[in-house]
A = this chain, B = another copy of it.
Amino acid sequence: MFESAEIGHSIDKATFDAAVPALREALLEAQYELRQQARFPVIILLCGIEGAGKGETVKLLNEWMDPRLIQVSTFDQQTDEELARPPAWRYWRQLPAKGRMGVFFGNWYSQMLQGRVHGRFKNAVLDQAIEAALALERMLCDEGALIFKFWFHLSKKQMKARLKSLQDDPLHSWRISPLDWQQSKTYDKYVRVGERVLRRASRDYAPWYVVEGVDEYYRSLTVGQILLDGLQAALKTKSRQEPQPHAAPLTSSLDNRGLLDSLDMSQALDKADYNEQLIAEQARLSGLLRDKRMRKHALVAVFEGNDAAGKGGAIRRVTAALDPRLYRIVQVAAPTDEESAQPYLWRFWRHIPARGKFTMFDRSWYGRVLVERVEGYCSPADWLRAYGEINDFEEQLTDAGVVLVKFWLAIDQQTQLQRFKEREQTPFKRFKITEDDWRNRDKWPLYRDAVGDMVDRTSTEIAPWTLVEANDKRFARVKVLRTLNEALEAAFAKD
């Protein structure tokens, strides 16, 4: 969930200065159009890590746009008047009117995050609060509102550095953060609870946008661009019955660096190391799957990746040392007639293994947010709601003891080209390359966006994505096996 926001996104000052005038003009224009149409309000919720730039961003938005049409509300201590009424009353009285923007700096999420981090209640109560928030947001959206939820993020290291620099700066030392943020345990808890909140509360009608906060230029441009895209899309809709206009890529990577770009693709294994490690990891997996602690668990591995990234080869290495009665490989292609007659997830549910068993999905339920999104096989409304549905689905699996490991096998364009050509030239590999593969290759940037969104939306504490640097097949195969083994051992250790 937060991976993409810990890779050190940055934009240099010159690029920033060059981009700002056009962005400001477009934002102002959108703002006046919003006032003119007066069809819907815009609600902006800000949350995230201390020191990640929430306050600065609000200041900047007020500078960039017409502050008379933005109303900033903070929700700290409740006033006497608020304490005398139901908790939601304070939010209702601050709602922006149609045609206006409201920034809720501190909001319903801040309160539940604080409460859970400080142990004032448990997950069941947190989940009730999340559901209440979603009910409110859905109602606001049904009534026409456009909602943006921003999570400003820093890695733990980034946060510590940031707090330190604020402390040392005489101009900012009054801003010293609450004491508890100085403790790294607070950071861990905050991120863990935040992850649960974002996973459950990111919905098509009101998604969360995670923004890396360490570089102010990147952060500011990113927030500005997301707002602009969302506003322009919403202003173009004809009626409030149309789908919520949040169809822009959820990850707006203005510095052209995504999570995939941050991989070290040069990683490789020589043949001797490979043989040794492969056999060791295969034996380890075979042992773990026969371990009696496996009775409480099932193992599900999802294999996704670029064409020719080596999914099939990796799967064969995984199964090499396994008892065939213990595992199944499910190859996901176009749905059968029977599958088409059912809800999307049905064809995956039917293959969920019983406890003690292991199922590998060669392509998976992520097809909806990859190929179906890029090729337009489903409507934007369908793939936009799929992230939430998939997270719900995976939570049901892991709640039942399923250990879920998800691999994205990544190769670069050059490597793909080589492998395609090699396939064409090798008679027994020719069946593996089709016109479709070449067509998909032309859509490389669209797939890159889709993969970025997918990882950001669905890499969760309970079911993280593992990005596998697969230019070197040997490295990739060993990493896959090792990741499976580590996931099983971690699950056993928690029992």
Asked if A87 CB lies within 8 Å of chain B CBs, one says: yes
Residues A344-395 near B (CB distance < 8 A): 344-346, 349-350, 352-356, 379, 381-382, 385, 389, 392
A36-48 near B? 1/0 per residue, CB < 8 Å:
0010010000000
Q: Given A124-B128, A356-B84, A139–B95 Cβ distance below 8 Å? A: no
A303-321 near B? 1/0 per residue, CB < 8 Å:
0000000000000000000
Asked if A254 CB lies within 8 Å of chain B CBs, one says: no
A400 touches B131 (CB 8 A): no
Question: What B residues does A85 contact at CB under 8 A?
Answer: 298, 352-355, 400
Question: What B residues does A343 contact at CB under 8 A?
Answer: 95, 139-140, 143-145
B95 touches A346 (CB 8 A): yes
Question: What B residues does A289 contact at CB under 8 A?
Answer: none
Alpha-carbon distance between A128 and B126 when the two chains are bound, in angstroms: 10
Alpha-carbon distance between A127 and B125 when the two chains are bound, in angstroms: 9
Question: What B residues does A135 contact at CB under 8 A?
Answer: 389, 392
A136-158 near B? 1/0 per residue, CB < 8 Å:
00011011110000000000000
Please name the residue on chain B nearest to A121 by beta carbon.
B124
Q: Given A92-B346, A352-B89, A341–B98 Cβ distance below 8 Å? A: yes
Asked if A266 CB lies within 8 Å of chain B CBs, one says: no
Q: How far is the CB of A104 from chain B (nearest CB, A)?
A: 15
Asked if A168 CB lies within 8 Å of chain B CBs, one says: no
Question: What B residues does A382 contact at CB under 8 A?
Answer: 142
Q: Given A86-B400, A349-B89, A354-B81, A38–B341 Cβ distance below 8 Å? A: yes
Asked if A396 CB lies within 8 Å of chain B CBs, one says: yes
Question: What B residues does A128 contact at CB under 8 A?
Answer: 124, 127-128
Alpha-carbon distance between A241 and B381 when the two chains are bound, in angstroms: 9
B349 touches A97 (CB 8 A): no
Alpha-carbon distance between A94 and B85 when the two chains are bound, in angstroms: 46
Question: What B residues does A97 contact at CB under 8 A?
Answer: 338, 341-342
Alpha-carbon distance between A338 and B38 when the two chains are bound, in angstroms: 12
Please name the residue on chain B nearest to A99 by beta carbon.
B341
A396 touches B84 (CB 8 A): no
Alpha-carbon distance between A126 and B95 when the two chains are bound, in angstroms: 31
B93 touches A350 (CB 8 A): yes
Partner among B87, B349, B353 whose Cβ is within 8 Å of the Cβ of A92: B349
Question: What B residues does A89 contact at CB under 8 A?
Answer: 349, 352
Q: How far is the CB of A241 from chain B (nearest CB, A)?
A: 7
Alpha-carbon distance between A311 and B128 when the two chains are bound, in angstroms: 38
Asked if A397 CB lies within 8 Å of chain B CBs, one says: yes
Alpha-carbon distance between A139 and B382 when the two chains are bound, in angstroms: 10
A79-111 near B? 1/0 per residue, CB < 8 Å:
001001111110011010111000000000000
A95 touches B342 (CB 8 A): yes
Asked if A470 CB lies within 8 Å of chain B CBs, one says: no
* Nearest 7 Cβ contacts at the A-B interface: A84-B354, A86-B400, A97-B341, A143-B343, A92-B349, A124-B124, A98-B341
12 contacts between A and B (CB under 8 A): A41-B342, A85-B352, A85-B400, A92-B350, A93-B349, A128-B128, A135-B389, A139-B389, A142-B385, A143-B344, A145-B343, A241-B381
